[in-house]
Structure 1
């Protein structure tokens, strides 16, 4: 079992990612405790229940990780989306079926194997050796104990033993990759003609009866939305933090007591171009990869300004290629030793390599360097003050939250009491819609649902305190309410007439365009079809051009290249109909070997995902997975 893990170093990358970066939906799945004593389940896997409480805990933890990752861009409403909730449940189900398969195959990871694996992870090493202190410190930053991490890691390694052989059976023939790139790079010469809707608007006649009929049949779409003027208060840890003061002497004392924490380690920032080759590849393959890396090194040293462009085009590291190879800043113990040694031995601006790691050969550009040093008190005093304020605010929040909840309930006729008790500001809005009210609650639908509930509208009483984010509560009440109402016919009749005119003109244009296309496909001349094409231009699958929609581009490349000229047509973005005359096929030249390798790696990765998805589907079918949609939708 451990031989398998040892031979697949990519698992180590996954583990490092899980402990170092807040992840989104995919990676490790079982990051919650199972609560088998709850009867209400959202799914069953071979009779094993996934409880509603277990799922709710997974959602809550995922929300917090996503919030940390996205910051102010976080929208809690995304977790109310049925598709997102189903996707999260799907990940838990996938984990369960893989665990079940691991048990059936009697896979196991011994304590010795687990400790050997952890000790080999660079993130936990200091000067190339495992550091228990660094291990505990890094885990604590993720609110994890060693026991918790080791339990999860053991489970992940067992699951990896099931999925890695499947995802690894992703061999793509070189000829298939060449054919794929040939089709991707192929260009076609097309001329475009369009039958536009706007000139045909004058040929349409919309009478008063049609306008009135549309009005009568679409009352709901023509309503003014319901609106309300509201007042609300928000209690958050940040609000308490703003009210908190810290004695300067306390800040100085905190610095002097924890001076070691403010030692900034030496860092480098770098970018790289990877020529991938497996660690267990044949010597000839490794030598060929090294030759390509050496050729790349010569190219980038000759023109360093092109490094980013070449990384985007040729690097076989899917994680950094799109970022011009940028790896950001890192300290020692983060990357593989040979990579780090080369980076930390070089100067800023140097381009070094090829450097060999388990992933292949790297050409590396050093973008920046920061020397190790102890930050001065003046540099960090604002950070220390903020940390102390945050700690004090966190201590205050629990009591303040209880007071907030009780006061908005007990003094339900207004918010003055809670605002005065907790030194909060009452915010008042003009007339706003439901969607605008939801935005006030950071996108949380529970706030707008409570606010616009019939009893809240009728009584103009406070909503309950609603948690719209961790350590953030809101309560509000309606001051004035205007229900949705139909707009008068006289106010909208001109708008309706214009809409019906546009619709009729669009139908005429598309009918005329399709008729002309049919004539051309029957062999009629352009003159006979009353159509004039513009100057031909080259288009390709991977470089769309204005005037050629994705639908049109697909039809252009579906045309038979052996029967030119060929014709295609599609509705254009203006509502008219565009016709495309394909006159020439331009085949690509010889494909660069490095690009061919990069494409092969990406196709292999995609094939691996598809194989794993198919394998998971088989396991789920055998495990008789059942989803309880009603319980899944409960909040």
Structure 2
């Protein structure tokens, strides 16, 4: 089934303002405590220009982000993955950006009407009964959570302000000119063909000779490369999360309590199946064209309302990529589509046909084909995941307690040796000498541990160290600092390295001489290659984003700087250890005549790119000039 249009809509919905904003509907009960002066600063996770975000809000946002990550890995996040992805920093950054958007919206005069708030709440599946908003469910759920409608609606307004501000900023980039479309299309589809020659050092290795005086002189400059890395011998205490976690058992009540208090985390959003008929209109189109397309849409809408086969109408009249599929877009969640389209779809009843809906793509007629109701994953399906999460949390707390007690004990005893003698059950580990580049197997992935160990001096004790895998206390028993070796001790290796150095220099020299010959303009690329015995290749017309064949991908962009007036680059190219010289043959310029679906795709790409750049620049500026405080515990 064709999914091009669906993907375009999804790409649009995943533009930066969607990425940085937690969708309100999915977070109905997460952020209702947001606001200034809701708590003491000591209890705040983040303070943005005086506005506080609580630790509870951060934790709930983090839990949801972790849940999304867990879903991508089938319910089990690989060890260390969240830390490797910087999940905590991502959540902090997202919350900061949300708050900056809210503050910016207030300064810009962005307003939310009561109708907008009402529609947002009525669309929340938590308050639905039999597929529709139910006032009794709304009031009872709020009452159960000790919230009044006015308080809840004020909080929804607070959350929606960030999203509306982002949209307001994006409205400054709501147009793609014909010039931009043609330029974008041209850059994506033009091709350049070149002759090229590669100069690989390995091809010149047999042409160089190693002479003793020159080798000795070269070694004086390169001798530090042959110096072994410092080695340390450690004794350390390790309180590993995973090891401690294995010893933690949970009762069913704890798992059930977690499940009940985090129901929204396990909520699956409502999805809807729709077809549409699209009449393409670009923001830059003339009023006459827009009116003509609107008239077409109105005529087809009458046919659809007269019970003519909708799929057949789409095949006959739609100008979108899903035309051949009868306009079928499959099932999608609300957040996967751009707002005007999604708003229309999610207000329809099953089998209903919408009126004419206007988006940046043009005029749509939509038919709702099916509904997958929002639902919550059962406890049985998430029990293992919850147990793992609780065990991890308890393991982290217990690891800190054990490590902190040990550290205080070491300070009290005077040194690590005295402490372990007094407490022989302490899990002290002593290593042999090792370098930072070749640590013991159990430490090779613990970058922070290694950095700290090699930053300490001999007989020095670290502070309590938290790493990705747990807590540790490190003591440096000894440091071995190797001396710089003589040439005699590393002669074989140094000789080979020097030979490679000479071959590389010769390859570079030959490439530069070849390019110089081209610049002199006395001979063509082909003739010069024949005279110098250089092997050459000729490319097809290469695209910027296409396969470059045997030509280096990293040099691909450079050939698009060439032209009939400038047939060769100013300097030689370098890629994969070889040197390259290339010369312009020709350029294949695509036709500027675009089909409606092609134009639709390029408009979408241009607008999405412009809006992301604009909003990103706005946020960077705001963050640079904001006063942001982050709780040390984060």
- Work out which of the residue numbers 312, 324, 329 in structure 2 matches 1:299: 324
Find the counterpart in structure 2 of residue 405 from structure 1: 404
Find the counterpart in structure 1 of residue 517 from structure 2: 519
Provide the rounded CA distance (Å) in 1 between the counterparts of 2:18 and 2:572.
49
- Match of 1:486, SS state, is coil
Is 1:189–1:539's contact at 8 Å kept on the other side of the alignment?
yes
Find the counterpart in structure 1 of residue 606 from structure 2: 603
Is 1:15–1:153's contact at 8 Å kept on the other side of the alignment?
no
Distance 1:218 1:175, change over 3 A: same
- Match of 1:504, SS state, is helix
Provide the rounded CA distance (Å) in 2 between the counterparts of 1:270 and 1:442.
49
Find the counterpart in structure 2 of residue 349 from structure 1: none
Return 366-375 or 61-70, whichever deviates more.
Answer: 366-375
Return 183-192 or 211-220, whichever deviates more.
Answer: 211-220
Provide the rounded CA distance (Å) in 1 between the counterparts of 2:444 and 2:142.
35
Q: How does 1:562-581 map to 2 (within 5 A)?
A: 566-568=567-569, 570-581=572-583
Is 1:109–1:154's contact at 8 Å kept on the other side of the alignment?
no
TM-score (structure 1 length as normaliser)? 0.63
Q: How does 1:222-233 map to 2 (within 5 A)?
A: 222-228=226-232, 230=234
Provide the rounded CA distance (Å) in 2 between the counterparts of 1:64 and 1:437.
34
Could you give the per-residue CA deviations for residues 99-143 of structure 1, whole angstroms, max 9, x where no partner exists? 665555555658x57853641444544223165489879999xxx
> How well do the aligned residues superpose, as a CA RMSD in angstroms?
6.5
Is 2:25–2:120's contact at 8 Å kept on the other side of the alignment?
no
Distance 1:264 1:195, change over 3 A: closer
Find the counterpart in structure 2 of residue 243 from structure 1: 247
Distance 1:277 1:160, change over 3 A: farther
Find the counterpart in structure 1 of residue 589 from structure 2: 587
Q: How does 1:414-453 map to 2 (within 5 A)?
A: 420=425, 431-434=433-436, 447-453=449-455
Report how far residue 172 of structure 1 moved. 1.5
Q: How does 1:449-464 map to 2 (within 5 A)?
A: 449-454=451-456, 457-458=458-459, 463-464=462-463
Find the counterpart in structure 2 of residue 24 from structure 1: none
Find the counterpart in structure 1 of residue 505 from structure 2: 507
Find the counterpart in structure 2 of residue 317 from structure 1: none
Provide the rounded CA distance (Å) in 1 between the counterparts of 2:509 and 2:573.
10
Report how far residue 524 of structure 1 moved. 1.3
Find the counterpart in structure 2 of residue 556 from structure 1: 559
Find the counterpart in structure 1 of residue 198 from structure 2: 194
Find the counterpart in structure 1 of residue 178 from structure 2: 174
Q: How does 1:182-331 map to 2 (within 5 A)?
A: 182-228=186-232, 230=234, 234-235=238-239, 239-245=243-249, 284-285=292-293, 293=318, 296-300=321-325
- Match of 1:496, SS state, is helix
Report how far residue 410 of structure 1 moved. 1.0
Provide the rounded CA distance (Å) in 2 between the counterparts of 1:437 and 1:365.
60
Report how far residue 194 of structure 1 moved. 2.8
Is 2:237–2:472's contact at 8 Å kept on the other side of the alignment?
yes
Report how far residue 607 of structure 1 moved. 1.9
Is 2:21–2:162's contact at 8 Å kept on the other side of the alignment?
no
Provide the rounded CA distance (Å) in 2 between the counterparts of 1:388 and 1:124.
25
Provide the rounded CA distance (Å) in 2 between the counterparts of 1:156 and 1:374.
26
Find the counterpart in structure 2 of residue 27 from structure 1: none
Q: How does 1:81-96 map to 2 (within 5 A)?
A: 92=96, 96=100
Distance 1:103 1:584, change over 3 A: closer
Provide the rounded CA distance (Å) in 2 between the counterparts of 1:442 and 1:326.
45
Report how far residue 559 of structure 1 moved. 1.9
Provide the rounded CA distance (Å) in 1 between the counterparts of 2:483 and 2:603.
59
Provide the rounded CA distance (Å) in 2 between the counterparts of 1:491 and 1:435.
22
Find the counterpart in structure 1 of residue 23 from structure 2: 17
Provide the rounded CA distance (Å) in 2 between the counterparts of 1:366 and 1:172.
33
Provide the rounded CA distance (Å) in 1 between the counterparts of 2:440 and 2:370.
44
Provide the rounded CA distance (Å) in 2 between the counterparts of 1:633 and 1:213.
53
- Work out which of the residue numbers 70, 74, 95 in structure 1 matches 2:81: 74
TM-score (structure 2 length as normaliser)? 0.63
- Match of 2:563, SS state, is coil
> Unpaired segments of 5 or more residues in structure 1?
1-7, 22-29, 312-324, 347-351
Distance 1:489 1:400, change over 3 A: same
Provide the rounded CA distance (Å) in 2 between the counterparts of 1:261 and 1:14.
19
Is 2:233–2:477's contact at 8 Å kept on the other side of the alignment?
yes
Is 2:98–2:162's contact at 8 Å kept on the other side of the alignment?
no
Provide the rounded CA distance (Å) in 1 between the counterparts of 2:22 and 2:495.
62
Is 2:270–2:372's contact at 8 Å kept on the other side of the alignment?
yes
Find the counterpart in structure 1 of residue 10 from structure 2: none
Report how far residue 177 of structure 1 moved. 0.7
Find the counterpart in structure 2 of residue 493 from structure 1: 491
Provide the rounded CA distance (Å) in 2 between the counterparts of 1:245 and 1:600.
56
Is 1:166–1:608's contact at 8 Å kept on the other side of the alignment?
yes
Is 1:272–1:365's contact at 8 Å kept on the other side of the alignment?
yes
Report how far residue 405 of structure 1 moved. 1.4
The aligned length equals 557
